[in-house]
Structure 1
Amino acid sequence: MKRRHSLVLTAALGLMAASSARAESLRCNGSSTSEGESRLAVLYKCGEPLLKDSYCAPWVQAGTLQPLPSAYAAVVTPCQPVEEWVYDRGPGNLMATVRFKSGVVQSIVYGRAPQ
């Protein structure tokens, strides 16, 4: 009986891990765009976004979520350029925010309004 419960638990954990590792994609005009694609590819497939924003995000140390020390980061580079494009996918669909870092799609997030 314990073995059966452990198998069920293992299967459930495996499904949860697989679903959380899945990358989002954005469907536009019969094409699909996903993480790793360039700005040009997204623009070609999806057209001009409803909104665009760009800002400089602080660099983080490799393997951690800690920002680089200011003195070091300012010498190397002050920030990492980030762009966010918002697509309105029409009535009944959530808006999609596509985040680019160094000109490449890093994430696609769905929500009711840009954040």
Structure 2
Amino acid sequence: MAAATAFLPVHAETLRCNGHIVEIGDSRLSVRRHCGEPLLQDTYCAPVYYAPGFQPVPDIWARAVVPCLVVDEWLYDRGPGNLAATVRLRAGAVLSITYGDRATP
């Protein structure tokens, strides 16, 4: 069981870059200033959900009424002996920070 969980990403609340701390809620500008340019970056449109069953908004309505939520993912290679960090941003702010082994492009 331990071997199976060893490769799962680990969620974190902070990321240390060049002596500064980046945390959830920080602006994209702050992340770039402290951590520099990411190794890789991706942007995608996350589905929008609605209550009561948390089902995705049907495409026909989503295109006309509900805009998608644009999410950016930035991958930082933290050097030898450190796990890569993925910073997920939404609306220009850090949504989550995840550590994992995806640093090799």
Q: Unaligned 5+ residue runs, structure 2?
A: 1-10
Identity %: 56
Higher relative contact order (Cα pairs below 8 Å, separated by 6+ residues): 2
Seen in structure 2, the aligned counterparts of structure 1 residues 23 and 92 have a Cα distance that, compared at 3 Å, is closer
TM-score normalised per structure 1: 0.72
The reply to whether residue 58 of structure 1 matches residue 42 of structure 2 is no
Amino acid in the other structure paired with 1:66? Q
Let me know the Cα RMSD of the aligned residues: 1.9
The reply to whether residue 90 of structure 1 matches residue 79 of structure 2 is yes
Amino acid in the other structure paired with 2:37? E
What count of residue pairs does the alignment treat as equivalent? Answer: 93
1:110 to 92, 99, 105: 99
1:32 to 21, 35, 38: 21
Q: 2 CA distance for matches of 1:32 and 1:26?
A: 6
Seen in structure 2, the aligned counterparts of structure 1 residues 25 and 64 have a Cα distance that, compared at 3 Å, is farther
Offset at 1:112?
A: 0.5
Match of 1:41, SS? helix
TM-score normalised per structure 2: 0.79
Seen in structure 2, the aligned counterparts of structure 1 residues 23 and 61 have a Cα distance that, compared at 3 Å, is farther
Relative to its length, the structure with more helix (as a share) is 1
Offset at 1:74?
A: 1.3
2:37 to 48, 53, 60: 48
Deviations 1:41-92 (A, max 9, x none): 1001111111111111111125754212223211124421110000000000
Greater CA radius of gyration, 1 or 2?
1
Amino acid in the other structure paired with 2:87? V
Seen in structure 2, the aligned counterparts of structure 1 residues 38 and 62 have a Cα distance that, compared at 3 Å, is farther
The reply to whether residue 76 of structure 1 matches residue 65 of structure 2 is yes
Relative to its length, the structure with more strand (as a share) is 2
Q: Which residue of 2 aligns with 1:12?
A: none
